Amino acid sequence: MEVEPIIRSALDGNNEGTNKQPGIVPQALEKLLSLAACDNSILYSFLMSMLEVYMGSLRGLICRAPKLPQKNTRPPLN
pLDDT tens-digit series, residues 21-35: 887 888 888 989 999
Parse the chain into domains and list their residue ranges: 4-14+23-60
Can you give the pLDDT at residue 72? 60
pTM exceeds 0.75: no
Show the low-confidence residues of the chain (pLDDT under 50).
none
Please report the pLDDT score of residue 59 as a whole number.
85
Task: Please name the residue ranges forming H helices in 10-69.
Answer: 24-38
Q: Specify whether the CB–CB gap between 24 and 8 falls below 8 A.
A: no
Consecutive H or E run containing 32: helix 24-38
